[in-house]
């Protein structure tokens, strides 16, 4: 039997998650882009729940929600995010926020438990306007000029305009009070199949892999799709297709066992059916925990670009637009999650890197940080069919709250 005196309310956790799913529902998932009406309604929902839990709640000038406690003793920061990818899943973000809320509800009122859990919902983890703007603002890494420059990647609306529209313009941005927290703990769905296929309940994150992102551009010659003979064409779209295929053919020999790469967006210019595209662009991403692997792959991209350009049809350039060093999770936090997992999940846990980016990697730059995963059914993520079994959600909440208790008791 676990050596703990308190009780996680699994029904309350599930009910809260479903309440958040009811705001901005899309099929069995949600559609809550950053600063959309359902996103803002979700933030207000959280602020009310925090107040009910006895925390002082604020929504700051970048859309972070922060619930602080006046209970004396050590303080642990916990949370995740509430906006979603477009037409995506209900747990990606809300799970970690509701676990943190539940931890505050269970631990803070208990005079026999040391310290308090403080709750955060970081704005725009999903990157509609940038890269971790909410948590990066909290650690002091976002300037006013960064906000001036940020735009919605789909609508093109500026972040300033969006902040004005939702009534956050002019509010102060809250930054971390150094030394206030013993660290940051975040829970998240795994978004992969490691736990499910191993019959495991809990992933103990050891590091968060870096994301390297590239803009690869192809310049050919725009011309008429009827009157330009095949042999004289300089079709930038076709060059792009050949480049994608070449990546897929060559990368496997150069990559590590966990390396992944993705072309997420392709644009042909001008994009009309009767015009040979003169210009084409792809957004390309590589993820790996080992910078040496990344270096090898980036070198290959550059030499492929040179090869393609040398063929004379189209000029290819590869520009790195995001450089992601891996973030290490704190060993003490890993230990606390493992102990909680032994107490509440029969020890069915595994230490593993996270291949997805999370706010924990940003918080890790200023305080010890940890992350735990619960299983994703079929590994599906960033799609409205994303799901986790109710039993896994409840068991995860128990492990999470117990890990918080152990960290605060240390």
Question: Using CB under 8 A as the criterion, which residues of the chain lie in contact with a copy of itself when the complex forms?
Answer: 85-87, 127, 153, 190-193, 209, 211, 213, 221-230, 232, 235, 237-238, 240-242, 244-245, 248, 252, 258-268, 270-278, 283, 285, 287, 354-357, 379-383
- Which position has the token pair 């926020």? 97
CA 404/CA 101 separation, integer angstroms: 12
Q: Which is nearer to a copy of itself, 178 or 229 (CB)?
A: 229
Least Å distance, CB 367 to a copy of itself, is 23
Least Å distance, CB 357 to a copy of itself, is 7
Q: Which is nearer to a copy of itself, 31 or 41 (CB)?
A: 31
Asked if residue 280 lies in contact with residue 240, where contact means CB atoms within 8 angstroms, the answer is yes
Q: Which is nearer to a copy of itself, 136 or 405 (CB)?
A: 136
Least Å distance, CB 190 to a copy of itself, is 7
Q: Burial code of 163-190, b = ≥16 C-beta within 10 A, e = fewer?
A: beebebeeeebbebeeeebbbbbbbbbb
Q: Which is nearer to a copy of itself, 183 or 210 (CB)?
A: 210
Least Å distance, CB 154 to a copy of itself, is 8
Q: Which is nearer to a copy of itself, 332 or 379 (CB)?
A: 379
Residue 55 burial class via C-beta count within 10 angstroms: exposed 0-12, middle 13-18, buried 19 and up: buried
Q: Which is nearer to a copy of itself, 175 or 222 (CB)?
A: 222
Q: Which is nearer to a copy of itself, 193 or 335 (CB)?
A: 193
Asked if residue 236 lies in contact with residue 218, where contact means CB atoms within 8 angstroms, the answer is yes
Least Å distance, CB 328 to a copy of itself, is 17
List the structure tokens of 306: 């040179």
CA 301/CA 131 separation, integer angstroms: 23
End-to-end CA distance of the chain: 20
Q: Which one, of 188, 200, 189, lies nearest residue 348 by Cα?
A: 200
Least Å distance, CB 37 to a copy of itself, is 20
Please state the φ and ψ torsions of residue 263, each to the nearest 5 degrees.
Answer: -100, 105
Least Å distance, CB 61 to a copy of itself, is 26
């Amino acid at each position: 039997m676990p050596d703990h005196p308190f009780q996680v309310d699994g029904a309350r956790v599930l009910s809260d998650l479903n309440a958040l799913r009811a705001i901005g529902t899309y099929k069995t998932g949600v559609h809550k882009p950053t600063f959309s009406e359902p996103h803002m309604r979700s933030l207000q929902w959280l602020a009310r729940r925090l107040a009910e839990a006895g925390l002082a709640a604020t929504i700051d000038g970048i859309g972070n929600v922060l619930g602080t406690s006046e209970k004396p003793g050590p303080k642990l920061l916990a949370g995740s995010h509430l906006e979603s990818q477009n037409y995506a899943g209900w747990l990606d973000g809300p799970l970690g926020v509701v676990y943190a809320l539940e931890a505050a509800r269970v631990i803070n009122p208990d005079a026999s438990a040391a310290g308090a859990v403080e709750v955060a919902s970081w704005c725009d983890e999903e990157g509609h306007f940038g890269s971790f703007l909410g948590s990066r603002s909290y650690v002091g890494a976002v300037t006013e000029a960064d906000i001036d420059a940020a735009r919605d990647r789909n609508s093109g609306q500026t972040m300033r305009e969006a902040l004005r529209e939702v009534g956050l313009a002019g509010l102060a941005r809250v930054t971390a009070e150094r030394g206030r927290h013993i660290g940051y703990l975040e829970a998240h769905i795994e978004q992969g199949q490691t736990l499910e296929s191993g019959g495991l309940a809990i992933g103990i994150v050891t590091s968060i892999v870096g994301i390297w992102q590239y803009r690869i551009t192809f310049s050919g010659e725009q011309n008429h799709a009827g009157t330009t003979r095949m042999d004289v064409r300089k079709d930038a779209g076709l060059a792009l297709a050949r480049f994608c295929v070449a990546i897929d053919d060559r990368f496997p020999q150069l990559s590590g066992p966990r390396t992944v790469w993705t072309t997420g967006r392709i644009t042909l210019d001008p994009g009309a059916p009767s015009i040979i595209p003169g210009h084409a662009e792809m957004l390309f991403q590589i993820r790996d925990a080992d910078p040496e692997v990344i270096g090898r792959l980036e070198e290959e991209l550059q030499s492929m670009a040179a090869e393609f350009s040398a063929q004379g049809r189209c000029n290819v350039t590869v520009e790195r637009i995001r450089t992601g060093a891996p973030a290490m999770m704190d060993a003490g936090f890993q230990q606390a999650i493992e102990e909680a997992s032994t107490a509440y999940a029969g020890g069915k846990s595994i230490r593993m890197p996270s291949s997805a980016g999370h706010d924990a990697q940003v918080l890790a730059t200023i305080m010890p940080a940890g992350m735990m995963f619960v299983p994703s059914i079929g590994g599906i993520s960033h799609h409205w069919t994303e799901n986790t079994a109710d039993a896994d959600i409840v068991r995860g909440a128990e492990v999470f709250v117990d890990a918080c208790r152990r960290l605060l008791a240390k």
